[in-house]
Amino acid sequence: MSVSSTSVRMTVNGRPVEAEAQALTTLAEYLAVVLEAETPERRRAEGLEGPAVVMMNGESVKAGRVLAVSAASAQIRSFGGLARHDGVLTPLQRAFVEAGAMLCPDCAPSLVMSALDLLNRNPIPSGEEVRDWLEDSLCPVSDADRAVSAVLAAAAATRS
């Protein structure tokens, strides 16, 4: 039995892309192809390992739980597309680095993307709100305290 695929287009990190996707191809699998993230290291750099949180039309989603076909025409931003092309980190990424919250290469990029969504919705969150928001992207051994500190520091920096 042949598995049919369809051509899916979207915009990833500001670049129009097109690739074949089957009905059950996840957005994470699709992004790994178009971002040429064929090794675990490359997938980590793009934030496609662990919870694999990306921004889809301005809201954070877990790319492994979204079908590529349902993301057709969407605007996607991955962790790897956050920093400027010259490598300058965003204030939020810097806050994560300074708080020592980039320890785990699997989940830290997803925590950053999830925090970005939170700060877009609520620029002055409480520690409790940050912790609740990030909970879904934390694993049992994640250092939640450092991640929360990083998000609060980034929020404070944008107010000053």
Tell me how far, at minimum, the Cβ of 112 lies from ligand FES, in Å. 12
Binding-residue total with ligand FES (CB under 6 A): 7
Instruction: Write the interaction track for ligand FES spanning residues 83-112; mark x where CB under 6 A is met and - where it is not.
Output: ---------------------x-xx-----
157 binds ligand FES (CB under 6 A): no
Tell me how far, at minimum, the Cβ of 69 lies from ligand FES, in Å. 28
Dist. CA 69–CA 112, nearest whole Å: 25
Is 148 in contact with 130 (CB distance < 8 Å)? yes
145 binds ligand FES (CB under 6 A): no
Residue whose pair of structure tokens reads 């390992």 in the numeric block: 49
Tell me the CA distances in angstroms from 5 to 9, 23, 24, one per residue in order: 13, 7, 10
Tell me how far, at minimum, the Cβ of 71 lies from ligand FES, in Å. 24
28 binds ligand FES (CB under 6 A): no
Tell me the CA distances in angstroms from 60 to 38, 94, 100, 137, 151, one per residue in order: 23, 19, 23, 11, 15
Binding region for ligand FES (CB under 6 A): 50, 104, 106-107, 139, 141-142
